[in-house]
Amino acid sequence: MQTDLLTEARRQAEICNACRYCEGYCSVFPSMHAGRAFSDGDLTQLANLCHNCRGCYYACQYTAPHEFDLNLPKALSEVRRDSWESFAWPQPLARKFHSHGGAIALALVLGLALLFLAIRAIGSAGGAGFYAVLSHNAMVAIFLPAFVLPLVSLAISLRRYWRSVGGTHLRLANITHAVGMAAKMKDLAAGHGDGCNFEDEDRFSHARRFAHQAIMYGFLLCFAATSAGTVMHYLFNMPAPYPFWSLPKLLGTSGGLLLTLGCGWMMVLKLRADRHIGDIGAWSGDLGFIALLGFSGLSGLALYAFGDTQAMPTMLALHLGAVLTFFLLTPFTKMAHGFFRLAALIRDAQRSIDGNP
């Protein structure tokens, strides 16, 4: 990891630890106040606990023009992104995406869409609905490796992270506590429960928390829809296409709506916020990821709405290109933050529940 980023984060964390005005704002500060010195692993853990809600920045009396020039959300954001890049496997892909995320995502979506169209031109083995364009076996052959390989990459990255932050053996109590925190997005409500200041320093709001929840639960519903379709296909011999009132369609439609609305909402919030209270170097990657995830949901809804028209093959190619791009880039995008943050919350539960610093 980059020494200069860790050095600056350590300087700011030591000042914050001495002041303690922001105690109780989020999970960062109880963890920070548990010690007096900060190793590189400690700073990595604090950075991945941080949600960049910015409440501490706007409450701080030592921000510029004070000589301390504190900007803890920015310092932790930079360490957080550097940790993802350092622990990622393979590493060069992560560093490239965060600086050129939008262009990489767009190029991959279009390139993979053209690939799907080329496969379609070769011909399908037959079938109804989407399978008339691309056979079921072809979809499985393409998407199964694209799903498994990113999981392997993430597992390697998280193992490196866990060792870096001094994580110990997992306990069910730690995991359930962390999952509960993540499900409620509790830290985005801040310690006082009024929300965060991400959009405006003078106004507390739950908007970013709700947008995060819409994206998270929308994605989980879409994943559940795919899982339900897989079970119906292989265990009950019920291949697609499915009617609207079937479980895959109900889960997929509601998930697609939440995902599309949540990503659009998050895009508006990020464009409205002050980008200098965060990691400017990851700005392109963040926006590129949000746009990619939102387009995956939107193209899925459009495909369902216009699936009986002549535009279906092209729309299917774009949707599959977006979904495949999302999976391939998952270990190197903001999506990795969800996995790293859950790991950070589990590690923090070991500190707060087990007394394991």
Statement to judge: residues 198 and 347 lie in one domain: yes
Mean pLDDT along residues 85-100: 72
Closest CA to 174 of 23, 323, 354: 354
Residue 357 lies in a domain: no
Question: Could you say which of 83, 114, 136 is where a domain stops?
Answer: 83
Can you say whether residue 31 is alpha, beta or left, with left for phi > 0 and alpha for psi between -120 and 50 degrees?
Answer: alpha
Residue 294 lies in a domain: yes
Q: What is the pLDDT of residue 322?
A: 85
Residue 192 lies in a domain: yes
Statement to judge: residues 188 and 332 lie in one domain: yes
- Asked if residues 320 and 314 have their Cβ atoms less than 8 Å apart, the reply is no
CA distance 193 to 204: 9
Residue 284 lies in a domain: yes
Statement to judge: residues 78 and 131 lie in one domain: no
DSSP string, 278-292: S-GGGHHHHHHHHHH
Is the pLDDT assigned to residue 188 strictly greater than 60? yes
CA distance 155 to 230: 24
Statement to judge: residues 33 and 72 lie in one domain: yes
Is the pLDDT assigned to residue 300 strictly greater than 80? yes
pLDDT, tens digit, for every residue of 5-54?
A: 999 999 999 999 999 998 878 889 999 988 888 999 999 999 999 988 88
- Asked if residues 260 and 291 have their Cβ atoms less than 8 Å apart, the reply is no
Statement to judge: residues 116 and 170 lie in one domain: yes
Residue 246 lies in a domain: yes
Statement to judge: residues 141 and 240 lie in one domain: yes
Residue 227 lies in a domain: yes
Statement to judge: residues 273 and 343 lie in one domain: yes
Statement to judge: residues 143 and 265 lie in one domain: yes
pTM, two decimals, is 0.89
Higher-scoring residue by pLDDT: 355, 39: 39
Question: Could you say which of 83, 100, 119 is where a domain stops?
Answer: 83
Q: How confident is the model at residue 79 (pLDDT cuts 50, 70, 90)?
A: very high
Q: What is the pLDDT of residue 206?
A: 87
Q: What is the pLDDT of residue 55?
A: 84
Q: Give the pair of three-digit tokens for residue 278.
A: 């965060």
- Partners of 196 in the beta sheet? 205
Statement to judge: residues 294 and 342 lie in one domain: yes
- Domain range enclosing 263: 88-352
Query: Average pLDDT, whole number, for the chain?
Result: 85
pLDDT, tens digit, for every residue of 228-266?
A: 999 998 998 988 788 889 999 999 999 999 999 999 999
Which residue is it, tokens 């262009």?
103
Question: Could you say which of 83, 99, 114 is where a domain stops?
Answer: 83
Is the pLDDT assigned to residue 295 strictly greater than 60? yes
φ, ψ of residue 307 to 5 degrees: the values are -70, -15
199: enclosing H helix or E strand? strand 196-200
Q: What is the pLDDT of residue 107?
A: 63
Per DSSP, 239 falls in state: P
Residue 90 preceded by cis peptide, ω within 30: yes
Statement to judge: residues 183 and 214 lie in one domain: yes
Which residue is it, tokens 């803890």?
72
Q: What is the pLDDT of residue 93?
A: 64
Q: What is the pLDDT of residue 298?
A: 94
CA distance 212 to 206: 10
Q: How confident is the model at residue 117 (pLDDT cuts 50, 70, 90)?
A: low
Which alpha helices (H) appear in the chain, and where do they start and end? 3-19, 28-32, 40-49, 55-59, 72-87, 91-122, 136-164, 172-184, 207-234, 247-272, 283-305, 312-329, 335-352
Query: Which residues are CB-neighbours of 32 under 8 A, at least 6 positions away?
Result: 13, 16, 17, 38, 46
Statement to judge: residues 346 and 310 lie in one domain: yes
- Asked if residues 39 and 14 have their Cβ atoms less than 8 Å apart, the reply is no
Statement to judge: residues 316 and 347 lie in one domain: yes
Q: What is the pLDDT of residue 119?
A: 61
Count: domains in the chain: 2
Which residue is it, tokens 């409620």?
184
φ, ψ of residue 197 to 5 degrees: the values are -110, 30
